[in-house]
């Protein structure tokens, strides 16, 4: 079965630096890869989507890359701020499926 791996250890970054989170998957590549943000006690919020034929997608301070050879996506937050502190979830969608498979998330902490 398909597996998604995200770094289970929390990532602590100094404010202003670039935070980079990793999402690795096994088996075949998804049609789409998504990133969500989840704050404590709240539901996940969609951030970005990248297609399998795209290498990179940007939105403001966020950047996502997708490498189907490495079976990996990287999620970057540039000029990080304490308000960026949250758990970030990676999710995969396959073209034949109606559902999404979520990773367990990486907790990011930005210290002032």
Site residues, another protein (CB under 8 A): 31-32, 34, 41-46, 49, 51, 89, 93, 98-100, 102-105
Q: What is the closest distance, in whole angstroms, from the C-beta atom of residue 51 to another protein in the complex?
A: 7
Give start and end residues of each alpha helix (H) in 45-112. Answer: none
Tell me whether residue 15 or residue 57 sits nearer to another protein (CB atom).
57
Nearer CB in complex with another protein: 43/112: 43
CB of 50 to another protein, least distance (A): 9
């Amino acid at each position: 079965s398909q597996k998604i791996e995200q770094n289970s250890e929390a990532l602590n970054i100094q404010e202003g630096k670039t935070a980079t989170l990793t999402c690795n998957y096994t088996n075949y590549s998804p049609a789409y890869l998504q990133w969500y943000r989840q704050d404590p006690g709240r539901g996940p919020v969609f951030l970005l989507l990248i297609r399998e034929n795209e290498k990179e997608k940007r939105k403001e301070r966020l950047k996502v890359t997708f490498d189907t050879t490495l079976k990996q996506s990287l999620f970057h937050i540039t000029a990080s701020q304490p308000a960026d502190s949250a758990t970030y979830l990676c999710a995969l969608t396959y073209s034949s499926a109606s559902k999404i498979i979520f990773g367990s998330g990486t907790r990011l902490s930005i210290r002032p």
